[in-house]
Every structure is written in structure tokens, then in C-alpha cells.
Structure 1
């Protein structure tokens, strides 16, 4: 481990920027796995393409596709919603599934050298839940090779949706996910922290507890608490005391209030509501407004045909006055147990 860290991205001057920093592109992996949306996959392409259309207004969209046939299908679906195809690039990188936040590349920047690097964490489909995942696991290495970026291989399991960044040295994550024995059972909490700090170029890790009910990732942070600037987080709270998310989200809120940033300041905490439970085929789905994606000119927020949709959109618009906040119906997409943030991964601009 010592040798690994001697040559870490942090020591080479790299760090993982905050999501609101200017992007060169957004990466996606075109959805094709019917088992991820059983009986519903044909219904997700319209909202998925609407998402691409909005993102493409301010940056490139780079999409991993399995083959030329998939590419042709993607183009036809994007044309239906009027997306600007001059902003969309396709890469023949076959995938198992669509969740690019978790299997895609972690792009790091060395601003002093104006250089980009890629971290390819190990990926095991959230603790081996959904094999096969061999194609997804090598996506970051393929992308790094295509663009000739330096590549780092930590050789432990880590997912992009499990970590949240303020761009000023702080990482926020959950014990429910990162300390789960289905990820890295050979590592202690302290050792996992060391990997995060060295491979993301950060200075501190702050830990929350559990994720929301229905989240098959074992508690990803991007469904509960998100940085919106260096010292402010949006965090979801449940208003109904009888709801099964109520207590765990109250516990997370209490933990956030105790946290201190590197400068000693407490977090500025803004509460987001939760939608009413979204149930499909007797399964509670992990519907959350926190799974928004910050693009260059917009913030895309999943909505759920719920009374709290407009309230959530207004709260998010208030913290992003320089971006257009757009709600896109995610009722069908969430059947796949994730939404727009889970599906996307930003590539920062140099």
C-alpha cells in the first residue's frame, strides 16, 4: 500500500474537482439492459434523451455504445426530442449496464500542469449484485487510453455515486456503502479513507450513516446529501414521521450539523423534501430529488409527478441562480433504481 500511495494522484498534484466546475463533457453509457428496467426499458428513452438535450446545450455529451446498431438507435431517439447532435459523440465501448456514475472514469485535474488524469477504481456492480460487470469495469481504462490520459489503478472497489465533493478538500460519503463487506472487506475505515484522500486529492472525509430505503447500492450519498458550493449542502428530509426514511434521514441531518470543514466552519445545511413513496410492483424505489445533475448551464432534477416536485425545483433553483433548473419526469427511470446523477459522469474542462 505504501508504494501505491507514493505514486498517488494527490502526490502528483491531481484532484477531483467539484461538479459545478466547468465541464468539457458529460459521459453516459447508453441503456440497453432490459433486466435493469424489467418490462419498462422502452419508456425510459424519452426522458433519458431529454436529459441529453438539456446537457448538450452547454457542453459535449459523450456516450458509450455497444455497437453501430445501438448508436443508430440512440441517434434516432435523440432526433425525436430535438437534441443538438453536433454536441453528441459516440464511443464504441461495450457496457453491461447504464450506470456511468459508478463504472465511468473519475477525471482528475492538475491545474498547474493543465493536465487531466483518470482513476479506474474496481467495479463489482454494488457488491456483486448484478453480474456480469466485466465490460463496465474496464470503461475508465478504455477512455483514458483513447484520450491518452495518465491512468491510476487503485485496485479497490469504489463507485462515483458513493462520494460527494466540495472541491475544497472535503469528501462526503456513507458508512453503509463504503464499509459494507461486499466491497472491500480487507480494508479498515482508516485505510479506505487513505485511498479516498490519495486518489481523489482531498484532505478530509466526512461520514454519514445510512442511505434511503430502496437504494440497492447500499446507501449512495448522491441520493441523500449533495454539495452545492464549498460550504453548503442540500440534504433530503422526510416530513412524515411514519415513513421508513424518517428516522435515518433525521440521523443524517443531526450528523451533518456536527460536521466541520477544514477551515473549522460548520456546514450550511439546506433541506430538500422527499417525494411521496414511489412504488412499482410492490417495490419501494429510491426516488429522491437529491439525484440531480449539475451541468454547465443547467441543473437537471428528477421529478416524480408529486406534490413536492415544484417545491424541490424552487429550492434547487435558489442555490443555482446562474443555471437553469429543469425538472424531468423520472417516474419510469427510477424503476431502474437510479436517476440522472447515477447515469452520468462529468469530465472537467482544463
Structure 2
């Protein structure tokens, strides 16, 4: 499949796909707050800019009669709501990765095993096919386990990932860097793989890269700097920045590394560190939607990210309820290229 290319997230979108929190037994008291956060994200993505920048077409999957009715009542009428079954809302990982093959868009489908066997939910292994059918595109399958949040693309043949996730034996036993690179280059049309080490503390995804480093332009990448003396990821974040600064992309460019503040130390209701990240943003046609968690770093992170995206409106939306499920706005979305 070396004729494939995966456009960068900042390239024009035909649509963005996402999910409506639907399973009351999974979300419990966070169900309605999570729905409110998803609705705020959707409204930000569909909005136009004052300069006339076009917002995104958004497709929302809802599972079950109650969720369908709730989504249709809560979301603007311009939003497309689909009755497609899924396990939970983490569509970046369970859904397809859209790619370009010639003049066509195809849906790349990979194996999914619940982030290394941690969570086994019905329909998480089939929702990608439902999205492909609804999008009206053909499906291309690859014979290995991969979650979309484990890889980030620059649109020029460079893929950024982590050893902690891709070389974890709970995904594809026996993989080393050379084996992983061969599979990724064939399945994703990549020409160069850039490897980082570990991800955030207590991340059940085993270090997804979309929480720690993101391409934001040709030869340009953003990562986080520690916030506060008690930032639980201080050493990891500094190592990521140093590693990125020593890398070249598939075009031979030395990476321009931009750092924004991390959320710092964010705890769950049991006092445990959770993997909060301002980098779990989604880049829309007119907007960038950045998650925040009510921490003191939020405004500074928002300003820094706005400087990195001068052509888009950068919107900060609280994501505490979604984070109780382990992710944020990038984790629950997937862009379909124009």
C-alpha cells in the first residue's frame, strides 16, 4: 500500500467524525457533563471565523435510542447524527484512519484489542467499518494492531510514534523497531518513522503520541513543558523536547520544536495522577479545539497554541468529564480529508 498518503490534520477536511457518550453504565455521573463537553467541541468545530473561514461538517455517532434522541436535541441541526454501534467514544483509536490513494479517499482499518487487552467492549472492533460505510469509502485492511492515537502524521511521509506503545508486546508480540517500521511504511505510506520513548504517567494507552507531541506544520512539532514543581511528567516532557530537537523529518528538515505548558498535576477523585494533556486538541478547518482542565496553566497554553495557529481560531474547552474515560478531544475524533 505504498501508494497511500495520509494528509496532515491541518489539511482541508471533508468532515470530522466523532461519538456521543452513550453508555450510562460506563459514564455514570459523568454522562451528562461529558455530553456537554462533546457538544461544546462540536459547536466550536462547525463555527466559521470572523474572516469567513469555513467550519467543519461534523458527523456524530450515537448508540441506542436514548443517545440518538439526546444527541439530536443537544446538537445544532447542521450536525449529522448517525445510528452506528460503538463500544465507547474513542473513535481515534477504534475507527478508521482516512487516507488518500490516487484521487480517492479510503478508510484504513487495523486490528483493535482494547489497548492491549485492558478494555473489551462490543462493537469497538467493528465501528470502523460502520464509519467507512457511512462515509461512502472503501476499506483497506492491515494485518496488525494499531490505534490512531498512537501515530501522528505530517502529510509529507513522516510518522511520529512512541516505543512504549508500538513496541509493547500487548499489541504486536515480537515487534522491534525495524519490524514496526516495515509494517507502518507499507500500511500508512510512511517514508520515515520518528521514535519517542515514554508517554504520560498512568496513560492506559501505553503512551499514545497524541498526548505528548503533535505535528502542527511542515517541519514543525509541538510538545509540552512541565508546569509547576510537582508536574508528574517533568522528566518525560523534557526528554521528549530534547529528542524532537535532534530529529529530522522525511524531507530532511530539522524539526522546529514549539513548547506549550502542560496542565501540571491533575488528579482523579481517588487522588491518582491522570494523563491530562493540552496536546489532545483537534485541528479543524477554521478552529483548533484545545482541552483544558481548570488548571492554572490553561490560559498560557491557549495563548501559546494560538500563536502556533495564526490562521485559525483556537478555542479552549473544559474536558474534565471526558478525561475520566482516559482521553480528550483528539481521542474522540477522526478527520476525513477533502
Q: Residue 243 of structure 1: CA displacement? A: 3.3
Q: Residue 35 of structure 1: CA displacement? A: 5.3
TM-score calculated relative to the size of structure 2? 0.93
Match of 1:130 in 2: 119
8 A Cα contact 2:95 2:334, kept in partner: yes
Counterpart Cα distance in 2 of 1:37 and 1:287: 18
Q: 1:71 to 1:239 in 2, by over 3 A?
A: closer
Question: SS of the residue aligned with 1:280?
Answer: coil
**Number of positions where the alignment pairs a residue of Structure 1 with one of Structure 2:** 330
Alignment match of 2:129 (pick from 141, 144, 156): 141
Alignment match of 2:205 (pick from 203, 214, 217): 217
Structure 1, 216-225 or 58-67: larger mean CA deviation = 58-67
Q: Note the alpha carbon deviations across 1:314-345, whole angstroms, 9 max, x for none.
A: 11111111110000011222111111011111
Alignment match of 2:83 (pick from 92, 113, 137): 92
Structure 1 unpaired stretches of 5+: 1-7
Counterpart Cα distance in 1 of 2:83 and 2:227: 45
Question: SS of the residue aligned with 1:198?
Answer: helix
Alignment match of 2:95 (pick from 86, 94, 104): 104
Map 1:193-208 to 2 at 5 A: 193-208=181-196
Match of 2:159 in 1: 171
Match of 1:70 in 2: 67
Alignment match of 2:242 (pick from 227, 246, 254): 254
8 A Cα contact 1:214 1:337, kept in partner: no
Q: Residue 240 of structure 1: CA displacement? A: 4.1
Match of 2:139 in 1: 151
Counterpart Cα distance in 2 of 1:332 and 1:69: 20
Counterpart Cα distance in 1 of 2:218 and 2:232: 31
Counterpart Cα distance in 2 of 1:279 and 1:257: 30
Q: 1:283 to 1:41 in 2, by over 3 A?
A: farther
Match of 1:27 in 2: 17
Q: 2:316 matched to 1:327?
A: yes
Root mean square deviation of aligned Cα: 1.6
Structure 2 unpaired stretches of 5+: 48-54
Q: Residue 242 of structure 1: CA displacement? A: 4.8
Q: Note the alpha carbon deviations across 1:283-342, whole angstroms, 9 max, x for none.
A: 211111111110010000011212211111111111111110000011222111111011
Q: Residue 32 of structure 1: CA displacement? A: 1.9
Structure 1, 232-241 or 177-186: larger mean CA deviation = 232-241
Q: Note the alpha carbon deviations across 1:20-54, whole angstroms, 9 max, x for none.
A: 00111111122123454453222211121010111
